[in-house]
Each structure stands twice: as structure tokens, then as C-alpha cells.
Structure 1
Amino acid sequence: MLDILPHDGDILEIRMARPPVNALDTALVRALRDAIAEAPVNGARGIILSGAQGMFSAGVDVPALLALDRAGVETFWNDFFALCGTIAASAVPVVAALTGHSPAGGAVMSLFADYRIMAHGVYKIGLNEVQVGLSVPEPIQFAMRRIVGPYRAERLLIAGAMVDAETAHGIGLVDELAAVEQVVQRSVLWLGDLLKLPPHAMLRTRAIARADLLDVWGDTTGLLDAGFIDDFFAQETQTVLNALVARLKNKA
């Protein structure tokens, strides 16, 4: 489910390994949260979150989510929020190595990293929740606004837009582009340069710069709006999600 790969300079790569598309179910979300929280405790000075070449993460495992009752759905989303909060609150810098397509939950996770490096070319990224019948909760909208600005975030989120890597770079949704096979190495190099700086000054400045993010995401207890769960079980959302699952089964 996860591959833990050390790199020089006390940099730890946490690679999602849930074929075929690194879909986020409860087990993967919890494994990621635990691995990211434990990495600094075990001596990591920087973290890289990566996926398979061609697919960072396809986002939430929709078929698995549809099989859950209300309590199970609420637990999943609270776990996912806790994962995002763990990335946001990491004591060490985190790079999202976007090794391919990064829709929905994959894109959301990247918003909480310190830096995003994406594979250029055919790969796309975006919060396409509206296209699959889901609303975007305010705390996630806040994280998006923080990266690309209020108006750009509004347009992207309401349309559920997916954009190619070059467009994502142009609007600041990702910080850097690299060949798909070089995304992780570029992440190592970026972190390596950052970690050469005087550590106290760098980490203290980082904490100040990210304080607004921690004000919202430092404690995710109760952060999930109950109305979002109501929306998930609404007829419109269930119809769209079940149609999506049917299309995926036909493709398979």
C-alpha cells in the first residue's frame, strides 16, 4: 500500500502503491497519515509524497465509498481531513511529487504540501468534485484559494475544472514541472537545497508563513461540515457517482 524509500540528506519518500490508480480508501488514507506523522519522529528532515509514474492518485475510491453507510462515509471523510491536516502540520517540509494525473483527492492532498512538482505533458490536475456530483467544503476551498488566489479558485472549483500540467504551472497550482521519470529526483534536489539553509531560521520562517493554514487545518476535529455528508447521500450525488462507477466498470 505504501513504499517507504530513503534518499540522501535524511529525505524520506512515501510512495503510494495501491494499484491500479492509487485510489484513496480508508486504509490508504490512514497509512499515509501515520507515515507522514512518524517520518520526522524517525529522523526525516524532509518528506516526498509520490505515486506511480503516470498516476499520482485518482482520488477517492468511489466504489468503496458508495458501499459504506452514513457512519462509514463520515469516518472516511474525517480520516481524509485528518490526513490533509497532518500534511499541513508536518514539522518538516513536504514536497508533493505529482508523478502523473492528480484529480480530486490527489490534487487536494497536494494543496497542503510546501511545494508541488508535476510531470509535464499529458497529465492533468484539478478538483473535479463538482463534475462527479460532490460539493467542495469550505476548508478545502480555503486551501485552494491560498495557492491560486480567490477568483481563480472560484472559477476552477465551481467548474470542477481539470487543467493540464503546463496550465497548472502557469496559474501557480504547481510550482515546477519535470519529465515524469524525473519528478521525484527534482523533489529530492529541491528539498536538499532547502535543507542546506540554517535550520532554525528556515523552519521558524516556514512556521510563520504557514500559520494561516494551521489556523484552519491544525486541528481537523469537527472541521467537516455535516451538510457535506447530507449532500453525499442526496439523490443527485448518488446518481452521478453510480453512473461514474458504471462507466469505470465498462472501461475495465
Structure 2
Amino acid sequence: MLEPIRHDDILELRLARPPVNAFDLALSRALREAIIAAPDNGARGIVLSGRPGMFSAGLDVAAVLELDAAGRMAELWREYSGLCRAIAASTVPIVAAIGGHAPAGGAVLATFCDYRVMARSADPAKPFRLGLNEVQVGLSVPPEIQTGLRRLVGAHRAERLMTAGTMVDSEEALRIGFVDELARPDEVAPRAIAWLRALLALPPQAMSRTRAIARADLVAAFDAAYRADDIEDFVRDWFGDESRATLKVVLARLKSGK
């Protein structure tokens, strides 16, 4: 499910859960633990990547529908939310190498990284897209995730994108600040590594301290969400009848290939 690749002191963590790198409990936990352990294992920077054409499709719809809202679904949400917090709070910089589409939870992961390099599709008629399209599948966007997107694109634009569940193509994502750089598909990971190397060449103590201060709002957003809500109550509200019915339709469409 997860392929670690060392580039000297940079660790690439490549998602490898076919067909679309969707997050279930095991993948969420494995990636969170790998990110937390990376600095102690000598990594000074991390690249998150996926397969060509697909970074991650977010939470595994089929797995989600098998879980009950009050029990195992809460466990999955804790793990996935904990993964996002681990990215936000990482003591080493993390770059998302987005080699293709990144809907929903895939876009969320990228939102909390330090930098985002996205692939420009070789076929202009079939651009790669990313976005927080949770509303399209009957899910609301939690406050800590809203904080992440507002930080990138501004409050009003984030509201419009999230409320409509809009997916934007890579060119538009670059224009509005959702991603930081576009590259050919085969250059996405190398460009992510190059950005990290430039950052890591700076005086390390000053860079790390400044980075931690600048990113403190992201960590605080997660901590505030956990203080404000009992996780079981949140998941029960979040994963109610409307979302379950909508997700069943989405899963049927995925299975039919439409």
C-alpha cells in the first residue's frame, strides 16, 4: 500500500493501493506512522506521490459504506484526520507530487503539505483535476479542512469551491493558488524533490522555526476541532442518511464504469 523511496535525505512515500489509492483504515494508519517516523529515520524532507494519472481518490467509498457510523467509521475518521494533522504538524517539510487526479481526500492531503506540484495532462482535452468535492457525494467539509483551503485560495474563493464541490483543472488550480507549480507527469516527483532541496539548503534552524510558526494555525485548527466535538457525534452527523444514500449512488456509478 505504501512504497518508500529514498533520495538521500529526502523520503518519497508513494501511495500504492490500486486502483485509485483510496484511503481505508490501514492505508491511513500506515501513511501517518511513516510520516511521523521519517525524521527519526534521517529524512529531512518528504514527498507524497501516487501513480501516474491518479494521486488519490480520497476515502475508500466501498470501505466507508461497510462501516457503522458510530463505531468503525469513527475509527477510520480518527486515522484519516490524524494523518492530515501529521502532515500539518510535521517537523520536516512535505511536498505533494500530484501526478494526476486528486478529488476529495486526495486534495485534502495536498492542502496540508508545504508545497504542491501537479501534473499537466499530455491531453489538453482531458485535464487532471483536483478539488474538495465532498458536497457532491453528500458530505460536509469539516472546519479544520476548510481552514486548510482558505489558507491557500482565500476565504471567499474557498467557500465557493467547497459549497459547490467544484473540481478545477490543473491550470485553474495554479492560477488560484491551489497548487504551486505544474510539470510534465514524469517531472512531478523530480520537481518536488528539487523544491525541497532548495528549501533544505537554507540555514536549518531559522527555516524550521519560521516554518513551524507559519504553520501553527493548521495544527491549531485540528486541535480545536477535537476539543469542540466528540468524534462519535461528529461522525454520526457527518455520515447520516443523506451522505450514505449519495455514496451508494457514487459506488454504483464507479462499479459500472460511468
Q: TM-score, normalised by structure 1?
A: 0.95
Residue in 1 aligned with 2:152? 147
Whether the 8 Å contact between 2:143 and 2:221 is mirrored in structure 1 is no
Letter in 1 for 2:81: F
Gapped runs of 5+ residues in structure 1? none
Letter in 2 for 1:192: R
Residue in 2 aligned with 1:33? 32
| Superposed CA RMSD | 1.6
Superposed, 1:164-175 pairs within 5 Å as 164-175=169-180
Runs (4+) off by over 6 Å = none
Distance in 1 between the 2:37 and 2:247 partners? 34
Distance in 2 between the 1:32 and 1:223 partners? 26
Distance in 1 between the 2:195 and 2:112 partners? 17
Distance in 2 between the 1:206 and 1:92 partners? 9
Residue of 190, 202, 206 corresponding to 1:201: 206
Is 1:13–2:19 an aligned residue pair?
Answer: no
Query: How many residue pairs align between the two structures?
Result: 251
Residues 2-51 of structure 1: per-residue CA shift (max 9 Å, x gap) = 0000013x000000000111011000000000000000010100000110
Q: CA deviation at 1:250?
A: 1.1
The alignment-based identity, stated in percent, is: 56
Residue in 1 aligned with 2:124? none
Gapped runs of 5+ residues in structure 2? 122-126
Residue in 1 aligned with 2:97? 97
Is 1:230–2:246 an aligned residue pair?
Answer: no
Residues 76-121 of structure 1: per-residue CA shift (max 9 Å, x gap) = 1111110000001101000011111000000001111110110013
Is 1:163–2:163 an aligned residue pair?
Answer: no
Q: CA deviation at 1:146?
A: 1.0
Q: CA deviation at 1:222?
A: 4.8
Is 1:210–2:209 an aligned residue pair?
Answer: no
Q: CA deviation at 1:193?
A: 0.7
SS, match of residue 21 in structure 1:
coil
Residue of 154, 176, 186 corresponding to 1:181: 186
Distance in 2 between the 1:236 and 1:91 partners? 39
Residue in 2 aligned with 1:245? 251
Letter in 2 for 1:35: A
Residue of 127, 135, 141 corresponding to 2:140: 135
Q: TM-score, normalised by structure 2?
A: 0.93
SS, match of residue 116 in structure 2:
strand
Distance in 1 between the 2:105 and 2:227 partners? 19
Q: CA deviation at 1:245?
A: 0.8
Distance 1:198 1:233, change over 3 A: closer
SS, match of residue 79 in structure 1:
helix
Distance 1:163 1:223, change over 3 A: farther
Q: CA deviation at 1:221?
A: 4.5
Q: CA deviation at 1:218?
A: 5.5
Distance in 1 between the 2:13 and 2:154 partners? 29
Distance in 2 between the 1:174 and 1:118 partners? 7
SS, match of residue 95 in structure 1:
strand
